[in-house]
Structure 1
Amino acid sequence: MKKATNILLAAAFSLGITAFAQQTPAPVQKEVITITGATAHTGDGNVIENSVIVFENGTITAMGGTEVATQGRVINAQGKHIYPGFIAPAKPLGLVEINAVRASDDQDELGSMIPQVRSLIAYNAESKVVESLRPNGVLLGQITPQGGRISGSSSIVQFDAWNWEDAAIKVDDGIHLNWPSSFRRGRWWEGEERGYKPNKEYNKQIDELKQFVVNSNVYQNDATETNEAMKAMKGLFDGSKKLYVHVNSEKEIIDAVTTAKENGIKEVVIVGGYEAYKIIPFLKQNNIPVLVQHTHNLPDRDDDNYDLPYKLPKLLVDGGLLVGLENSGTSNFQVRNLPFYAGQVAGQGMDKETALQLISGNTAKILGIDANYGTLAVGKSATLFISEGDALDMRTNQLTHAFIDGREISLETHQTELWKRYMEKYSRK
């Protein structure tokens, strides 16, 4: 009897998993596909009306207006819009499923200086969170560890895969550093006054960080024993990896860039950059791109303009910086709103195609994947989608088709399945 009960429980469990399992990853593209009639937003500021896009074996082979000949299977997208797949940087996507369930949370490892921790090998390609991003056109992401001073190494993946090996686009693209703050909140539980006060440990924390960087640089040529943490830093000194510094205040941004450059780190990207608009000439001089924080936010300080978070990306773009959008500080599910952050920037006066670049072409350049992704062009990956309307407008961004490397992916998720179930229930008479 006990054995039979166990079998029934196992069967019920497996049926539950089947009912809510992620959609099966799409097979490799086998036939030539042509999309006709749509307005193509190429992700580099250009627009092609009544476009024709042909792709084969996962690569765009022809693109233009009606002069381009159709081939293979033809998708009539008249009146619709085509976009390159949007890219979500600097998020622990696929590393945490349920915050309250420790076994499903791999975004933060023990330790302070742990650049050797590789987020990619913990990436869950079957994450329901990741699956929920695709219906809004977010098809690629930078899987980023959290916590500590140096959190570890990120990698870039596409969001339709069997496992992390299949998903990987660029492995160990950069190392993420959480720069210390020159101010801290009062520890009221220790009797300190609430509110912000100077961080007396700030200079000491920077010195510890500098020493680790200096030792890591020396280690590359004079190692006498294996040190995995320092070994993982090699790419920062030879330019094969970028240092992503999560930092917001003016002073800290200057300190971070100066420290990195003075100690042999070649490529630096600011993540967050709330006060980056105050030091645009400094950032331009040092060729520093910014992955600016999400726009659906309140000002950080009482004396900031109420609309600073909304217009911050425009201020940086107008200043001549290379800018992308990220949304750290929000839940992973909020990544699906990435297109609408760009739409909000357009609402602050930025040209719509320039706003689109913040989540496509610009982000691809910052992450170093622009040779294949981020824009629509002959020779690049056929990672794109068709929307009924403006993809930056939550009212009209309704996808009909999406492709990753030419593979037509499912746009169904556990959320769309539940929506259909209950729509059917309440539509019955």
Structure 2
Amino acid sequence: MTAATGFAQQTPAPKQTEAITIVGATAHIGNGEIIENSLIILEDGKIRTITNANSTKMPYRGTVIQAEGKHVYPGFIAPNSSLGLVEIDAIRQTDDESELGELLPHVRSIVAYNAESKVVESMRPNGVLIGQITPRGGRISGTSSIVQFDAWNWEDAIMKENDGLHINWPNSFRRGRWWAGEDPGVKPNDEYMKESKELTEFFSNAKAYLAGSRSQTHLPFEAMERVFSGEKKVYIHADGEKEIMDIINFKKDNDLENVILVGGYNAYKVSDELKNNNISVLLARAHQTPNLDDEDYDLPYKMAKLLTDKGIIVGLETSGGMERMNTRNLPFYAGTAVAHGVNKEEALKMITSNTAKILGIDDTVGTLEEGKDATLFISEGDALDMRTNKLSKAFIQGRDISLESHQTELAKRYSEKFENQEQEASQGQ
């Protein structure tokens, strides 16, 4: 029992029963606005009041948190994440991020989500409190759902179920398969047109099925109904310039309302076309090296600014190598955008209000506004700077959540060890 306690996730916090008043902090609303010396009242899991403390005589309510000199932010949102689907890469039994097959719109990631993942727990000390849990693999990976990171199970965690369909667009170039005796260099993908056509045909067949009698149930086609109605968003993962232009044509041909580009390494090259077709971008992590030798060394760092300057709604995502662990660095990707020209409050929007708008949850989270969920945190300093992102309190839907994790426990353990050794050494002298 002791071992189980040591390795289990923190117990989810109880429902908010008493009002909480946060006084004196600098409130970063998440929509570009800032309120100095703020007064924030949380009640019944919602933000009931947010204003300047000097402009009101409203009495404090419930527990009062004096936060002078600190900063309050909306909970950060991690889109396109496989958090909770894989715990340990090398142990197959803990890997539920993909299913066998290529065209799987009916696969739902949420039923495999592990709310007690120790990796998920480690997001909260950096302010990442919400995530879009996304399947991987195949041409059509399946359907994502959006959760908050303090729950007993996926049913408790769910914020928006089956929010969007995820498509991995084929690449027009590919590297040779060295294990098959091919040249490992980059070369044109001779199968690109065929692979693109398979997607087009699948969408056409799904439309024909849904317009017909449906005498025999076809689960993949049934799952496409909410896509065509516009209720379910379509997230298309692609990086190449040609691929993105083909996606724009695909959107038009299939009359798709809500298409979001995910990754978008070369999106800046076709930013006008993306803007004209109302396509937002969930931009790949900034902390990577350029893909080509002749690209600017800092291209990944400044992509967010290049797109934002064109008026495109940009959110930041974290997929790639060790993506689940690296999700905790989400605020620092936004901080890198600040260092390369993006206004600090605009960069904050890329992990709060912009992402909430892209995911379709901006009516409840993403900004500090009256009536929205009390999902927020208090930081000792600038939350986009890894030197000062130090949380003292965090709330999810008004619940005062734990900021402890396996990492913080180890840090305290070894800090105490060395402090004791120093004391013993000084006493010995």
Q: TM-score, normalised by structure 1?
A: 0.96
Paired with 1:146 and 1:228, the residues of 2 have a C-alpha distance of 19
The equivalent position to 1:344 in structure 2, one of 336, 342, 350, is 336
The one-letter code sitting in structure 2 at the alignment partner of 1:25 is P
Percent identity among equivalent residues?
59
The one-letter code sitting in structure 2 at the alignment partner of 1:235 is R
Q: 2:416 — aligned with what?
A: 424
Q: Tell me, which stretches of 5 or more residues in structure 1 are unaligned?
A: 1-13
Q: Secondary structure at the match of 2:250?
A: helix
Q: 2:210 — aligned with what?
A: 220
Paired with 1:328 and 1:216, the residues of 2 have a C-alpha distance of 29
The equivalent position to 1:142 in structure 2, one of 111, 132, 141, is 132
Q: 1:97 — aligned with what?
A: 87
The equivalent position to 1:400 in structure 2, one of 385, 392, 401, is 392
Paired with 2:133 and 2:177, the residues of 1 have a C-alpha distance of 32
For the aligned residues, what is the CA RMSD? 0.9
2:252 aligned with 1:261, yes or no? Answer: yes
Measured after TM superposition, the shift of residue 151 of structure 1 is: 0.4
1:101-120 equivalences in 2 (<5 Å):
101-120=91-110
CA contact (8 A) 1:342 1:359 kept: yes
Q: 1:161 — aligned with what?
A: 151
The equivalent position to 2:9 in structure 1, one of 19, 22, 25, is 22
Q: 1:195 — aligned with what?
A: 185
Paired with 2:24 and 2:181, the residues of 1 have a C-alpha distance of 67
CA contact (8 A) 1:339 1:392 kept: yes
Paired with 1:31 and 1:218, the residues of 2 have a C-alpha distance of 54
The equivalent position to 1:57 in structure 2, one of 40, 44, 59, is 44
Measured after TM superposition, the shift of residue 283 of structure 1 is: 0.5
The equivalent position to 2:72 in structure 1, one of 64, 76, 82, is 82
Q: Which moved more, 1:227-236 or 1:361-370?
A: 227-236
Paired with 2:416 and 2:245, the residues of 1 have a C-alpha distance of 56
Q: Which moved more, 1:113-122 or 1:69-78?
A: 69-78
Q: Secondary structure at the match of 1:200?
A: coil
The equivalent position to 1:357 in structure 2, one of 345, 349, 352, is 349
Measured after TM superposition, the shift of residue 234 of structure 1 is: 1.2
Q: 1:233 — aligned with what?
A: 224
2:25 aligned with 1:33, yes or no? Answer: no
Paired with 2:256 and 2:209, the residues of 1 have a C-alpha distance of 14
Q: Which moved more, 1:256-265 or 1:229-238?
A: 256-265
The one-letter code sitting in structure 2 at the alignment partner of 1:29 is Q
Runs (4+) of structure 1 exceeding 4 A deviation are none
Q: 2:405 — aligned with what?
A: 413
2:297 aligned with 1:306, yes or no? Answer: yes
Q: Secondary structure at the match of 2:297?
A: coil
Measured after TM superposition, the shift of residue 421 of structure 1 is: 1.0
CA contact (8 A) 1:108 1:147 kept: yes
CA contact (8 A) 1:43 1:353 kept: yes
Q: Tell me, which stretches of 5 or more residues in structure 2 are unaligned?
A: 425-429
Paired with 1:264 and 1:252, the residues of 2 have a C-alpha distance of 18
Paired with 1:224 and 1:252, the residues of 2 have a C-alpha distance of 36
CA contact (8 A) 1:145 1:154 kept: yes
1:307-326 equivalences in 2 (<5 Å):
307-326=298-317
Q: Which moved more, 1:144-153 or 1:219-228?
A: 219-228
Measured after TM superposition, the shift of residue 205 of structure 1 is: 0.5
Q: TM-score, normalised by structure 2?
A: 0.96
Measured after TM superposition, the shift of residue 194 of structure 1 is: 2.3
Q: 1:8 — aligned with what?
A: none
Paired with 1:171 and 1:390, the residues of 2 have a C-alpha distance of 32
Q: 1:48 — aligned with what?
A: 35
The one-letter code sitting in structure 2 at the alignment partner of 1:150 is I
Q: 1:9 — aligned with what?
A: none
Measured after TM superposition, the shift of residue 403 of structure 1 is: 0.2
Paired with 1:182 and 1:383, the residues of 2 have a C-alpha distance of 42
